[in-house]
Amino acid sequence: MRFFKRNPDPEQESPTDAYLGLRRKALGLAPEQLGERFAGASLLALLMEEQHSGAVATLVGVVDGASSLYFSSGGGFIGNGEHQPVAEANRRWLAAGANLLIQLPSVAEAPLPDVDVVQFVAVTADGLRAAAVSTTSLERRQHPLSPLFVAGHDVITQIRLVNGG
CB-CB neighbours of 83 under 10 Å: 18
Rounded CA-CA distance 60/71 in Å is 11
Rounded to 5 degrees, what are φ and ψ at 158? -65, -40
* DSSP line for 17-59: HHHHHHHHHHHT--GGGS-GGGTT-SEEEEEEEEEETTEEEEE
Domain residue ranges in the chain: 2-162
Integer Rg of the chain from CA:
15
Residue type, 49: E
Provide the pLDDT for residue 161. 95
Provide the pLDDT for residue 12. 62
| Cβ neighbours of residue 96 closer than 8 Å, sequence gap 6 or more | 147, 148, 151
Provide the pLDDT for residue 11. 55
Rounded CA-CA distance 119/104 in Å is 10
Tens place of pLDDT for every residue, the chain, 165 residues?
333 334 445 456 688 889 999 999 999 999 889 888 887 788 999 999 999 888 999 999 999 999 999 999 988 999 898 999 999 999 999 999 999 999 999 999 999 999 999 999 999 999 999 999 999 999 999 999 999 999 999 999 999 999 987
The burial class, CB within 10 Å (0-12 / 13-18 / 19+), for 132 is middle
Global model pTM greater than 0.75: yes
